Amino acid sequence: MTTKQKRVSIHTLGCKLNQVESSAILEQFRSQGYAVVPFGDVSDVVIINTCTVTEQADVECRKLARRVQRENPEAILAVTGCYAQLQPQELASIDGVRGVFGTAEKHTIAAHVETMARLESPLIAVDETHDDMDFIPASYTNDGRTRAFLKLQDGCDYSCSFCTIPKARGGSRSMPFVDIEDRLEQVEEQSYAELVLTGVNLGEYHANTGERFVDVLRLIDARPRPFRVRISSIEPNTVRDSVLEAIAQSSSVCPHLHIPLQSGSATILRNMRRRYTPSSYASLVERIQQRISQCTLGIDVIVGFPGETDELFEETYSFLENIPFTYLHVFTYSERADTPAAVMLDSVPRNVRRARTARLRALSEVRKRAAAVNIMGSNRFVLPETYDDATGMWTGWTEDYHSVNFAAPPGLHKRLYSCTVQHVIDKRGVLGATLIEPPIVTSDIVSLPILHL
């Protein structure tokens, strides 16, 4: 009689780093003989990897846990991640939760399945974060096998007044520099077309042997590789001129930076305990424009922070109007327990927060469309990711992070293809393009000098 293979599924909330770590968790289950199935399918083990950056993320986690209990009541449900680290008892009280694992313990879930199955009350494996926590390596590949993610750094030593991440993940720590080359070779051997470098505070990468983030970029560019490299979100105070120069001279690093601003008001930035001013941020953007031609710039903004008057919000809006950004990620401020901002006076009414969020998102749509119009008629290299059977269209991303739709056969290889941008499809700035005939499939990264015209 054949033993039925056990199944595991996972749902990931929050940042790319969580996706990286979810992939590492699933690899541990695979090594124990589990089949990985989509979240929502019947599973023996279900994992929710949480985020706690906003109140909405907490709400979503609780909803998902109750959904699992309702739809898959026999499953062993484990919750992990930042929310689990900060509020383990709250999560353990939800019906159906069999285990709660902190950020340092998330990689032990597979080893505790049998324990969770036999205990009458939820297993809580959450230790306090501390400064000498080990760096746990992790990598992630998306289902389409097009893009790989490499976690270079974890934790944060900053003390931003609105943020719970240092409490949830501990102090900054980094992958040993000597290990990076092996990871790059794995990406190359597995034929991924793009590698994303990620971390909680990526720009603070600092190996025990002294290397910094700029040294990682130089290592990547030391020899041509058959994949392009994208940098995930990076703090403005860590984007030094040496980093910009390394990107500008690189033949593999994409001309796309996502740099949080959070506020264009000097007063609010001080209250947030950010490590820069509006003027220093503007100077950074100017240097980016001077050094990296056609660089796409994404910006995070938080609206409705305590004390943000109408006048201070207008400072942010005006600041952004004068910055050549491409798109915004706008977050409505939500109070986080155990943060200094949560007890600050002059709370902004929620309806005002929502209205400000809407204004900035509208500004973002205008900029995204304008940036899309600006590259019409040009050639780009697109990485096809998803195929729509109904329309016969692929969707993918260019090197400078524009979403592109184009017609091509469903069996298209997941590689970089040269295409000509033809028109803008919608107000979000999605582009329509045609592949250059015959399709140029890049076998190495010699395609990327088009980025630095």
Of the candidates 373, 395, 423, which is a domain's last residue?
A: 373
Q: Are residues 165 and 258 in the same domain?
A: yes
Verify that 274 and 364 share a domain, yes or no. yes
| Domains: count for the chain | 3
pTM for the complete prediction? 0.88
For residue 131, being part of any structural domain is answered with no
Residue where a domain stops, chosen among 67, 93, 125: 125
Distance, in Å, from the CA atom of 342 to the CA atom of 232, rounded to the nearest integer, reads 28
Domain containing 150 equals 139-373
Say whether both 151 and 272 belong to one domain: yes
Asked whether residue 236 is assigned to any structural domain, the reply reads yes
**Do 408 and 314 fall within a single domain?**
no
- Taken in order 198, 199, 203, 208, the sign of the CA dihedral is negative
Q: Give the domain CATH number at 381.
A: 2.40.50.140
| 149 in the same domain as 115 | no
Q: Is residue 175 part of a domain?
A: yes
Is 306 part of a structural domain of the chain? yes
Which of these three, 373, 398, 420, is where a domain ends?
A: 373
Please check whether residue 379 is in contact with residue 339, taking contact to mean a CB–CB distance below 8 angstroms.
no
Task: Give yes or no: residues 314 and 382 share one domain.
Answer: no
Residues 171 and 231 in one domain: yes
What is the chain's pLDDT, residue by residue, as a tens digit (453 residues)?
A: 456 899 999 999 888 888 888 888 998 999 999 999 999 999 999 999 998 887 888 889 999 999 999 999 999 999 999 999 999 999 999 999 999 999 889 889 999 999 999 998 999 999 877 666 666 666 655 545 678 889 999 999 999 999 998 988 999 999 999 999 998 988 888 888 999 999 999 999 999 999 999 999 999 988 777 889 999 999 999 999 999 999 999 989 999 999 999 999 999 999 999 999 999 999 999 999 999 988 999 999 999 999 999 999 999 999 999 999 999 999 999 999 889 999 999 999 999 999 999 999 999 999 999 999 999 999 999 998 888 999 999 999 999 999 999 998 888 877 889 999 988 887 777 888 888 855 554 444 333 332 222
In CATH, what number is assigned to the domain containing residue 52? 3.40.50.12160
Do 82 and 115 belong to one domain? yes
In a domain? residue 133: no
> Are 306 and 189 in a shared domain?
yes
